[in-house]
Every structure is written in C-alpha cells, then in structure tokens.
A and B are shown apart, each in its own frame.
Chain A
Amino acid sequence: MPTLTIDGKTVHAEHGTFLLAACRKAGIDVPTLCEHPAVEPYGGCRLCVVDVTRPEWDGWCKMVVACLFPVEDGIVVHTRSQRVLDTRKVVLDLLLARCPETPLIRDLAATYGIATTSYVKNPVPTDCILCGLCTRVCDTMGMSAISSVDRGAGREIAPPFRGPPPACIGCLACAEICPTGFIKAESGLRKRRIWEKDFDMLRCPECGRSHITVAQADFFAGRGGVPRSYFETCDVCKRAALAATATRLGGPPATPAR
C-alpha cells in the first residue's frame, strides 16, 4: 500500500488509485469540475492541479492533475502551494470569462478571490464549461448519442448534425450529471423532451407513475436475460414487491441463512 504525504499528512492509499482519492481520504479538499465517480477521469478542467515532489528531488516539483495521477509510494504532495493556487486562479478567471453568469463558476471563483474576470467576457454567455461529463456518461451508458463537436475555441457539445440525436433514449443521464444545468430536459406524465428529441413515457403498471421512456425500456429489454416487464415496473413498486415477498417468506432478508 503506497504511503504518501499530502500537505504534511501521512496517507495510505490503495494501489492503482489516483491522487484525488488519496487527498479526499485525508480530508483535503481539492476543487474539481470534470470529475465524477460514474465516469472515467478526464483531466480537462485542470482545477485539481497539485504539486508533487520527492525528498530526493532537491526542491523540484512537478505539477500534475490529481484526478489522473496514479498514487506512488513516497511522494510528497502540496495541494495549496502558491503556484498551484495561481494556476487555479488563472483557470477560474478564464472559466468566468466563458461563463460569466453561471452560479457554480461564480461561486468557485469567489472562493479564490475572483469577483469578476480579468479577461474579455463571453459576448454570448453559456453555462457549458465543456467538462465532458455528459459525453462520458453517455458513452458509459452505451449510447454515445452526443459528443464534442469542432475543436479549439469553437468546441461545443452537440448531437450529430446538431439535430435530435438518433441514438438518444432519453435516459437523462447527461442532464443529471451536468454540473451547471446547461443541459435542459422537460419531463411530463406522457412526454419527455431533451436535445430537441421527444420521447413517450412509460407508465408503471402498478402505480401509474411515468418513470422511464419507452425507448429506454426498448433498449434495456432482453439485455442480460432480463425481460422487458422488469423495466416497466418502477423502482418504488419493485422495492415494495420485494419487501412484500420478504415478509411473506418470514423475516427480513438481512440475516443470511447459516
């Protein structure tokens, strides 16, 4: 088990994990915008930069992003050195220029002492910080319905041809993971709309709640040998049915049989 020093604290980290997890384990807050446990780390926002050194490096440090740097035994990490803070400030200052009206960015920038950006404000303010969480979660779901489009300053997140995405099943994973609320969805009893695509909702045969889209049920039906009917029932009713079965069999299933 690699042992490292983070801001003076000794931390034992799991082999094969990343520095960010070790920092959190030590109770040290490192800001992030593009990291989420549901998806692979990305290293795009650059907010989680930290300085890494070793006693034998004679004071020389390398700056790395904590979300992607694999823990190593014996490293000494500084999460709040002056140049780390300066670098984060530049990043936040730039993001604030891009998203001058986005509460998440404004609040984070404020904690680093930035009230207004020192750069040129985006004439067309956006809430999209291009963290890539939406596209990564869509890939994880197996849809890959949306992607990054264009490059450089013109980069954006969009469906193919900027129209309704054919592969989207309306699962809302992208909207839910979006940290700034940029991705908008409307859900009603019968219809759901996201990325300008309309979906019919499926209603739970037990309680009538509309909980997933028909496209979702169609997509998952039959996968791993699970019948479509399983997905048609909402999670609340499924849990209720499970509880009822447990009660009927006598006693909660919490105690394993010996």
Chain B
Amino acid sequence: MRIESLEQFGAAVEAARQAHLAKGREIWVCCGTGCLANGSKAVAEAFDARIASEGLQASLGLYHKATGCHGFCERGPLVVIQPEGLLYAKVKVGDVPEILDKTVARGEVIPRLLYKDPTTKQAIAKYDDIPFYRHQTRVAMRNIGRVDPGDLDDALAHGAYAGLAKALSTMTPDQVIAEIEASGLRGRGGAGFATSRKWKACRKARGDRKFVLCNGDEGDPGAFKDRSIMEGDPHSVVEGMIIGAYAIGAHEGYLYVRDEYPLAVVNVGKALVAARERGLLGANILGSGFDFDLKVSRGGGAFVCGESSALMRSIEGRTGEPRAKYVHASDKGLFDLPTNLNNVETWADVGAIIAGGGAWFAGWGTQKSKGTKAFSLVGKVKNTGLIELPMGTTLRHIIYDIGGGILKDRPFKAVQTGGPSGGCLPADKLDLPVDYEILADNGSMMGSGGMIVMDDRTCMVDVAKYFLKFLSEESCGKCVPCREGLKQMLLIFDDLCTGKGKGGDIERIERLCKGMQLGSLCELGKSAANPVMSTLRYFRAEYEAHIDHKACPAGMCRDLTSYEIVEEPCTGCHQCVKVCPTEAIAGKAKQKHVIDPAKCISCGACFDVCPEDCIRFTARNGRKEAAHAHADH
C-alpha cells in the first residue's frame, strides 16, 4: 500500500510497531554471508518448518525471522531468542527441536550452545553481556541483525525512514546540510572528507540534473562492513540517499554494488522495489512533492572502481579508468553532470543523524573525527567479526577487549588498517585512539574500516608483497608510475622473499615509492606505496634480515625457511602428519616424528597445529650450516 502523505507514514509506522509488539516471541536466525556459509539457511528453514508443523505461532506466539549479519561471523550460525536476548552460537539443524522444546517452551537455557568467552572460559547467555557486543555502539549498523532486510514493515517498526520523514516535513535542504555539518560526519569510505562540504558543493553546482551515488564497491581486502550493511539493512542506505538527494536537489541516483556480493545485490534490489511500492521512492515521496529514484549498478570486479571517477565511468558502462580530479565531481561527475558520491556506511549514518540530531552523533568521537565507525576485525584475533565503535577507541581496546586477544595467545605483531592504501601499525601503537588524523599521522589510514590483526607468524615483507601483488592486478594500467611502478616493485619483493635481495634494494624501493606517490594519476597509485612505506618504517629490521641474512624471521617466506621437529617434547601425536600436504612427515605413533626436507615445502601447516610446540623453523641457510655441523661430529 502506497504511503501518500506524512500522516499516513506515521500511521504505517505505528501499525508496523503494533504488529511487531504483538509478536510475543521471536527467533532471529542470522542469514548474513558468514552464517549462511556455516549453514544458517538450513537452520532457518528448520525453524520455519517446525514452527509451522507444530502450530507454535498460535500456541506460543512464536515468530521466526531471517536477519542480516550479527557481526560475530566466526561463531555462526547465530540464533537469538527474544525477548530474553539469548544468543546461541554454532547452531546446527539438529539443535532446532531442542531449542524449541527447552528454551522457547520451558525457558531452559542450553549451556552447550552458549558462547564461551575465550579468556575467562565462562559461558555467557545474554547477547548484550558478551564483550564482543557489550563494547559496541551502533549507529550505521543500528538495525542490522534486528530487522528482516526483506521486510519493510519490520524496518519501519525499528525506526527506518523516520529521519527521511523528519527531513521532508520539517527541514529545508539547507537545514539538512546544517544538521549533517553539526554531526561532523566525514566520509566512511576512507578519505574522511566532510560530508556536508561535499553536499554543499553539489547543491551549489549549476544544472537541473544531478546525481547521488552510493559507493558499495567495497574492495579493500579484509573489510566487509558495507557488505553487511547492504545485506542486513539496505533501507538505512536508501533512506540516507533520499535525504542526501533532497538536500542536494538531485532526483536520480545509483547504488553501485560489488558483484562479488551477490546477497547484497539481491537485498538492495528488493529494498528498492519495496520502497518504491510504498511511496518512499519515486515521484512525490510521502506526498512531499519531492521526486527521487534509484537504480542498482553492479560492478564488474575491479578494485579501482572504488575510486570515485572510475566508479562513475563504470556506471556509464565503460572501463573503470580514473580521471584527473582538478574539476570536482560536484561539478562534472557521472555523465559529466554534478554528482555526489558517498560510501555505504556514510549513507547509513545519515538517517540516524537526521532523526537523532547532529549534536547527538557528534557526542561521540575525537576533536576532528565524530560519531561512530564500523570496523571489520579479522586476522589472527580470537573474536573476528564486524563491530561499530565511537571514534577515538584505542586499538588495544578493539583487539584485546572486543577481539579477545591474539589467536593461541601468540604475540601481537601488527594491525593493518586501511586496506591496500593503508599501513601496518606495530605493538607500540596499540594505545593510539583510532581517528582519521591519528592513523594518517602514523603512516596508515582509516580506509574502509578493515583491521587485520597479525601475529609473530606474519612476515611483514610478505604482507607488503601481498598488497603489491593485489594492486598490480587491480591497477587500471592507465598511468606509468602505477602500472610500471607496481610491476617493478613486485619484482624487487619477489627477490626479497626468495633470498635474492641485495644491497641498495631498500633505497630503490624508497625512490620508487616517492615517484608513485607523487606521480600517479589516482589514489590507488598514489597510496600504493603506503603498505611498503609503513612496513619499512616499523619493521625495517625484517627487511634487512631478508636482504642481509636471507632469513625470514616470521618463518613465512618458504624459500628462506626450513622446518624440523625437535626431540623433546614431540609425543608422536600425529597431528602434523595429518595436515602435511606433501606427506613429508613420517613417524610411528607415540614416537618422535621426522620431517623429510626433500619433500617439505615449508608451508608451516605442521607448525600451526603442533600442540607441544616442538616444531622449529630456522633460516634455510642456517639449516644447511647446522647440517654441516652435524656431519662433522
């Protein structure tokens, strides 16, 4: 039913809220990409089937809904039972009858399914008591995991489009921009440009035809906040875009979504259809006289299309080659018309800011970085997943209090932020509060909010090489410094990691970094040197070890590393044998095992599983020396 006026909108929200309250109990099954991969679809279907076959909706007032990502993907499939707020982790189809019979019907908690804190080993029943959630403050992700992304009424019951209704009914476009300015909101895609300034410039631009775009081409490897927002609460993005369009004076927009995110493409598409049906998109939105409509444009698989001018070329149906930005997109963007582009998370913040007020949002954060920010906390950390926190939270709080510390309690080595444009921060930076300026001042950047935690088994030269390889595959190839520079830089790093590094390599790397930073056409090339520069800045000794001693201190560069099993305390548990991909380990049960160096490819799989810490790695040349020493005896 189309909502024709603001009064009708209020009535629709009230109806949705009443319908929501009428549901006595709810079971939320996370159906984000992470949980789906762990089998949550079958779990959701099992709940559906059993609720239907046993008539539980009538008898217990029980409803089931599939929600977006709860963020705690590693523990998936996640099931939340409301109103108690119980969280069950790693739920299997076989657990469904027991959950319904015990927990839902009789209020009994099933201890086996509860989350156990890896530090205290204590089981925690309530969603809100789990440290991973307790420390979070969610704005952009306010409704993810709480609403069914395919149900607009559910979203309305949880406050969706309230900001839009407020903007259209009580605010002028200039007042909307002033509110965003008061919130201090800056671009959540990474660069951190003030959103209100962008909007103002585009509002001022001449021309009747303008565009608002959403950058959903979340290409930073290790970041997936935008995916989760688009999958789990697409209406928050749509609402923000309509408000932005109203402020700017645009009537058309595109949501550019990575094609590698199939569920996001589907859910965003459904949200547009639903919003259009209800009069939240299209002509005369909510009877306000304002017209705006949105289309989805799927990307083709190119990281560079996260760059604004390349993204616009891609929407135009062309190759994603960036252009010089001496003329701003606010004047000449998509189809050479005034265009405003913001990131998914930025758009998702807008509706909440308008509804809650700029001052409310600005109540969090640091002097220059206001509000909250979503991060993907991944890598060698115990609790991986998606989190949202006030700006200014320290890295230590994020990694240890929320992330639960390093996997297997190994030593922390670095945290990589900002994706391929960012850098790696070492242990002595753990107490830095996270904001745009502080990260940049320390050689990294905010980027898309990816935080990849690394332990002592991560080689920093290899990490830099990883990003170089990534970028050389993703460079569009238009300009010389980026195309040829990345190619040459990768060749140097190939040498470093295979023991062919030589004196002067570091200086050559530094010179090339400078040339790429200054000479490249777009931000991809300009920032391509960052992972190299930051690892050189904080882990120079590791580079020198690769060059001077042909050694990889982390034991990751295979050509430089060899593995052996030490006599004590190998118990012959056989675990290493099971994981060895080349059958290089031999030994009878309960007797000391031996690695055959001829078959060993130095992958380190055995090292990672050994429960007794009896596998040792040494520099390959070191082993040879040791072998010689042995022969002398």
A residues at B contact (CB < 8 Å): 42-46, 49, 63-65, 68-70, 83, 86-87, 89-91, 94-95, 97-98, 118-120, 129-130, 132, 148, 150-155
Contacts and interface: CB of A to CB of B under 8 A. Distances in A.
B487 A87 contact: no
B518 A152 contact: no
A94 B484 contact: yes
A1 B465 CA distance: 49
Given A68-B324, A90-B514, A150-B477, A46 B520 contact: yes
Contact of A120 (B477, B491, B521): B491
Given A65-B324, A91-B519, A148-B319, A153 B487 contact: yes
Nearest to B508: A118
Interface string B471-488: 011111111110111111
B487 A86 contact: no
Contact of B511 (A42, A90, A120): A90
Interface string B326-341: 1100000000000000
B294 to A, nearest CB: 29
A65 B479 CA distance: 12
10 contacts: A70-B327, A87-B481, A87-B519, A90-B519, A94-B485, A97-B484, A118-B508, A120-B491, A151-B319, A153-B475
A154 B474 CA distance: 11
Contact of A155 (B326, B477, B520): B477
Interface in B472-523: 472-481, 483-488, 491, 508, 511-512, 514-516, 518-521
B511 A151 contact: no
Contact of A49 (B304, B326, B519): B519
Q: Interface majority SS on A: helix, strand, loop or mixed?
A: mixed
B323 interface: yes
A118 B492 CA distance: 11
B51 interface: no
A67 to B, nearest CB: 9
B302 interface: yes
A98 B477 contact: no
A138 to B, nearest CB: 15
A129 to B, nearest CB: 8
B76 to A, nearest CB: 35
A215 B324 CA distance: 36
Given A68-B324, A94-B484, A98-B484, A152 B477 contact: yes
Interface of B: 302, 304, 319, 323-324, 326-327, 472-481, 483-488, 491, 508, 511-512, 514-516, 518-521
Contacts of A151: 302, 304, 319, 474-477
A152 B304 CA distance: 10
A232 to B, nearest CB: 37
B496 to A, nearest CB: 14
A87 B481 CA distance: 9
A87 B515 contact: yes
Contacts of B521: 43-44, 46, 65
Contact of A153 (B486, B515, B518, B519): B486
A90 B483 contact: no
A106 B539 CA distance: 37
B519 A64 contact: no
A95 B480 CA distance: 7
Contacts of A130: 477-478, 480, 483
Contacts of B485: 90, 94
Closest 7 CB pairs of A and B: A90-B515, A155-B477, A94-B484, A152-B475, A68-B324, A119-B488, A153-B487
Nearest to B477: A155
